Amino acid sequence: MNRLHLALLTLILTGLGLGIFAYKALVLHFPLLPHTASNVWTVEVALAFGAHGEPVKAAAYIPKNTGKFLLVDESFISRGFGLTTVSKETNRQAIWSKREATGKHTVFYRAVIRRVENEPPPVPLKAPEQKTPVLEGAFKEAAESILQELRGRSADTESLVRQIILRVQEKEPDHALKLLLGKKASALKKAQTAVALINLAGIPARVVHGIVLKAEGPSSERVQWIELFEKKGWHPYNSETGDNEISEDWLPWWRGNEPLLYTEGVQDAKATLSVEPHEEEAIQTTISSLEHKNPWFLEYSMFSLPIQTQMVYRVLLLVPLGALMVALLRNVIGIKTFGTFMPILVALAFRETELLWGIMLFTVIVGLGLVARFYLENLKLLLVPRLASILVIVIMLMAIISVLSHKLGITYGTSVALFPMVIMTMTVERMSVVWDELGAASALRQALGTLLVASLTYLLIRISVLEHLVFVFPELLLVVLAVCILLGRYSGYRLLELPRFRSLLDNQD
């Protein structure tokens, strides 16, 4: 009965876990990998310039909400510069300024943007004031002759615009066009020329500067297109093909003929645009689509928790994986450790310190703690006050290590604060007892075992796919539970028992 009971229980647990997992992955399309393509990106402008004691002003265009893209979050890193943002009808601008600045500076603008799935209907707009065309003299005449020619060949506004764009893009431009474009015209110059021609024809149009959003990896590819005012709204036209449609992945940044950057009182100003898919937010896409389809499903999932609590559970849900690992290493391999689950806590601390630093810090703290413990032994203190003293010493050691490593610029050292200090104290005490009773070799062997198990557990829980899986699919923990239960009935030899009993085999011969 026992065996059947066990088999049924583990089967049910595994089935339940995998079943919910499959439903969420296949039907609800929860992402299986943390890097699944998303609709969220981080964009950044880095503005670098040199200043030498004069009043400084540096302005850069920044994106604004459009029908297609929503700014979810924005941040500025100003490093001592005053910051204002100016929002005009067509563009937004961030302006950094300082009365006096010297040396090299870099300021940043960062934003998280999200592509909107269901675009809201456009708000009807008034036609913009027609600006006087910028062309003069020979340029104006050349432009008008081109326009004259194209007008004859087109039936309506749309076909005229298309004709203009295609004409500007011609591989071998005639004299009139050459005059307008100049030598070796860039894509931007061509778009601007096309806009000038369209304006000359009495149609409101403008150049749009944008950036290409990619599904994977960072990008800084710039792109331009043309917007035309017709039917009470601005409509995009591809400035190379003339199609009245542009790629979904083009994020408009600013509009008009001005460059991205405007500066006063600085030298060597340089602006770098970059954009990257926002990985953590990949799951958000699934969630926002679920909000419409299965609201109840989200009500009772991890994602209903406040973000802070979610972050806690991201770590907590790794503990069962660590526990499984410890059970395996202890009952199947047979490694001895101090404290059953202490290695898990140490492994969690390793997440912040990285493996090598973690091992070093752990060794230093336990080593110095042991020295203190051996000294306290001389004083013949009562057990609990002695433990308290070691705890005080351990915490002071941690604080000193944090301060020292901060001063030396070793950032890992400061995260020593995450080590489970009470458990470290018990380790120091336990280790000194083992040291006294069973000798240094036993104590060191167990300490090494603890570090080994902690390191292996750390290597397991740092796998980002696992962290993602247990957080997005916590039902997988039922499978972990089933494996733990099965492991509880494992009655074979432990790996390290084999050498121990080997002498028994040799003796018989």
Partner 1 sequence: MFATAAALKARGVLGLNQRNAQYISRYNPRRLYPLVDDKLRTKKLAAAAGIAVPELFGVIRMQAEIRDLHQLLSKYPDFVIKPAQGSGGEGVLVIAGRSNGLYRQVSGVLLNSFELEHHVSNILGGMYSLGGHPDKAMIEARVGFDPIFEPICYLGVPDIRIIVFLGVPVMSMVRLPTRMSNGKANLHQGAIGAGISIAQGRTLKAVWRNQIIADHPDTGKAVSNIQIPQWEGLLQLAARSYELTGLGYQGIDIVLDRDRGPLILELNARPGLNIQIANGCGLLPRLQLIEGSCRSLQSAAARVEFARRSFS
Comparison of 374 and 490: residue with beta carbon closer to partner 1: 490
- Applying CB under 8 A, among 331, 389, 402, 414 the residue interacting with partner 1 is 331
Query: 3-state DSSP: the chain helix, strand, coil percent, rounded to 5?
Result: 50, 20, 25
Residue 205: HSE in the Cβ half-sphere, 13 Å Cα cutoff = 31
| Region near partner 1 per CB under 8 A, out of 85-93, 108-116, 336-344, 494-502 | 494-502
| Region near partner 1 per CB under 8 A, out of 10-18, 138-146, 175-183, 491-499 | 491-499
Q: Does residue 490 belong to the site contacting partner 1 (CB under 8 A)?
A: yes
Backbone angles phi, psi at 110, to 5 degrees: -130, 145
**Nearest CA to 413 among 359, 361, 355?**
361
Comparison of 127 and 384: residue with beta carbon closer to partner 1: 384
Positions 406 through 445 that interact with partner 1 (CB under 8 A) = 429, 433, 437-439, 442
Positions 378 through 407 that interact with partner 1 (CB under 8 A) = 380, 382-384
Contact 96, 81 (CB under 8 A): yes
**Nearest CA to 329 among 456, 470, 181?**
456
Contact 257, 191 (CB under 8 A): no
- Applying CB under 8 A, among 334, 367, 420, 474 the residue interacting with partner 1 is 334
For residues 374 and 432, what is the distance between their CA atoms, to the nearest angstrom?
Answer: 8
**Nearest CA to 92 among 266, 274, 255?**
255
Min dist CB 495 to partner 1, Å, is 8
Tokens (6 digits) for 477: 């923990």
Q: Does residue 503 belong to the site contacting partner 1 (CB under 8 A)?
A: yes
Q: Does residue 4 belong to the site contacting partner 1 (CB under 8 A)?
A: no
Q: Does residue 155 belong to the site contacting partner 1 (CB under 8 A)?
A: no
| Region near partner 1 per CB under 8 A, out of 82-90, 278-286, 289-297, 497-505 | 497-505
| Region near partner 1 per CB under 8 A, out of 52-60, 335-343, 356-364, 490-498 | 490-498
Backbone angles phi, psi at 327, to 5 degrees: -60, -40
Tokens (6 digits) for 468: 């993602």
Binding mask 247-286 for partner 1 (x = CB under 8 A): ----------------------------------------
Q: Does residue 1 belong to the site contacting partner 1 (CB under 8 A)?
A: no
Q: How many residues contact partner 1, by CB under 8 A?
A: 30
Contacts of 251 (CB under 8 A, 6+ apart): 41, 43, 63, 69, 113, 210, 211, 212, 213, 275
Contact residues: partner 1, CB under 8 A: 331, 334, 380, 382-384, 429, 433, 437-439, 442, 488-495, 497-498, 500-505, 507-508
